[in-house]
Structure 1
Amino acid sequence: MTISFVARLLSLGVMAVLGTASHAEEYPARPIRILVGFAAGGSTDAIARFYAQKLAVELKTPVIVENKPGAGQIVAIKALKAAAADGYTLYMGTGSALSQTPGVQRGLSYEPLKDFSMVGLVATAPGVIVVNRDLPVRSLRDLAAYSKANPTKVNFGSSGIGSASHLAGEYLSKVAGITMTHIPYKADADIVQAMYTGSVHVGIAPAQGAVTAISNGKIRALAVTGSHRLKQLPEAPSLAEAGISGLEGLDPYTYYGLVGPKGLSASAAMKLNAAINRVSRDPASAAQIQDKYYADPRSGSPDDLRKAIQEDTEKWARFRKYVNVAG
């Protein structure tokens, strides 16, 4: 066996190893799952499934939504923290899990800015304050007066303890002087359904889950969170028009951010981030998000998501005195 022949074999072996390593580093090479901390049918689930479908096309691999409801999204968060930081398990976090609850509650089992790898901000969504159609109120001032006259009768539903609808409801109760008993459910859709039967009087839900029921006259809108009205609900005033000082703090109602486990590689995060941005910036996708899900698509870098979480956490920490996350 000649030296040149041996050298050729070694060269081929090195090339094979390098080729195998290069192939192993390709991402994504298998299906990606996106964890959602709510049951199927709610607004977070809908947004996650829309982006999963679009990301599957962008990344050329299946992207599957896995619902893990319970314990204020802690079930989903624990699953994320236990997953390998390889980019194949992600979490569609909401404003409540990423900044609102961390802002108002100490001693959580996770810290978003330390325990998660940032991928990207997906969308923001307004909320709508709605009431059972049989409740004799047509404005937030009416609701405050009614609850004052009936201090033990009014309740409000939420999609779970620590959810955006829970925290916003608690904040509304304290700032507007509306006495309400909290009834937690597992998804935004449950709140609206409970209003049909009359078991829930008041709720704050993403517009996506409430507009149809409002348009059909099954529930009544008192106000839209934020500083302007929604084109889909032109008769519902914004909180800025409600005549109750301090409620502007409820804007934005919630947002959706995609994160991975701690230790996710920068290359995987940036590849996912670029795919999100392409979806959010696509005119057809953006129009569908706005018209079907009543949300505003967002784009930006992983650091932009980190900054948004940090700023919103600080805001809710200032509101800690207004909310009760014990239930």
Structure 2
Amino acid sequence: MFQVLDKIEEKLDSNKFLEQVHVFAPATVANMICGYDILGFAVDYPGDEVIMKRTESLGIEILKITGDEGKLPLDVQKNTVSHSVWQLLCDLGLDKSFGLSIELHKKMPIGSGLGSSAASTVAGIFALNELLGNPLTKHELLPYCMEGERLACGSAHADNVGPSLFGGITLIPSSEPLIIRSLPVPEDLYATLIYPKVEVPTKDARKLIKDKVSLDKAVKQWGNIASLIAAIYEKDYTEIGRSMQDYIIEPSRSLLIPFFDQMKEISLDKGALTFGISGSGPTVMALSYEQNIAKDIALSIEDFLKDKNIDHLSFVSKINKQGPYVKK
């Protein structure tokens, strides 16, 4: 499919194949406010889990899906996990000699702006690679993870699957050719994630994005992106906060999120470095340089949303440096 797997016969060793593997893959914060489609980071929690087993019967079977409220398809060609895993099996030449069963356990809300489909797909692709004895690098796995995003939302972008697969903070400066760079992670950054339970489909959120922007907004935006990357390397928390401002996407998308401006004001008043939308929303994200500040922000926004009778979930997490991993 992607023609990226050179000399694959030399990489496969049936003696290293496993019978079963259980993998966790992390949720992500795409865009990092000012870096639409090119920046993202992973969090320790929440995430999704895949249990994958070899079977005597050929092909792929999804045994069950939990935590999705019945929203996700069991059809292997329509599910992002099985669809992407099948594409990789075909490119490895194992589609006519290999059988798999899959269990998908959703540990985060669907359509939340936390990279739900990305985490599921990454868990599945990573699990298959583990099952086969780790013949492929993460760079070789990335296009197959992106294929799950194409199925989920019509666009094979990497700002969610990139950080979920590689961990940490990732920059995708080019999609053709595909380039991904891992950036350093400042140790003291904490993310407060608030998911108000309202529906903001990714496809609908993308429709709000304008095809053209003014030159002055564009200059401000790419200045912020450049400054953010420099500040990450320098561990300059003040500049990280200042540069994470969005002049292009947030003004339109924030209109879909109830009480966005009020939640932003609460976060900044409580000491957040910055505040914005996670992915396409409706989850919002505040970054802080102390865990206590991050927790205080979460509690304050929770109280505010309770007063407004808006059901919600909240998470406080450091940035996940590892990416997916095998659960023991």
Q: TM-score, normalised by structure 1?
A: 0.27
For the pair shown, which has the larger CA radius of gyration, 1 or 2? 1
Q: Which has the higher helix share?
A: 1
Q: TM-score, normalised by structure 2?
A: 0.27
Q: Which has the higher strand share?
A: 2
